[in-house]
Amino acid sequence: MKVLIRHQKREVEVAGRRRVRDVLAELGVNPETVLVIRGSQLLTHDVQVAEEDTIELRPVVSGGGA
């Protein structure tokens, strides 16, 4: 599958059919810090993503404000 890592402006390939939580673990991403989107739909961490799918990791952490 293709994974768009929005905040790092990069795209990676992850092999095989995998659950969202396993994809995040493989990429070393804390699930608290992103939302996972397929098309326009948010995915929970138990959802299986197919080999031919594209998913986006959208960062949710913003900051710097004082």
What CA–CA distance (Å, rounded) separates 58 from 7? 7
The reply to whether 44 sits near another protein by the rule CB under 8 A is yes
Q: Which of 3, 6, 2, 11 is nearest to 58 (CA)?
A: 6
Query: Which tokens go with 15?
Result: 């092999």
Distances (CA, A) of 65 to 7, 51, 52: 18, 39, 39
Instruction: Please select the residue that binds another protein; options are 10, 39, 52, 65, rule is CB under 8 A.
Output: 65
Q: Check binding of 39 to another protein (CB under 8 A).
A: no
Q: Does 17 interact with another protein (rule: CB under 8 A)?
A: no
Is residue 4 within the footprint of another protein (CB under 8 A)? no
40 in contact with another protein (CB under 8 A): yes
Binding site for another protein (CB under 8 A): 6-7, 30-33, 35, 37, 40-47, 58-66
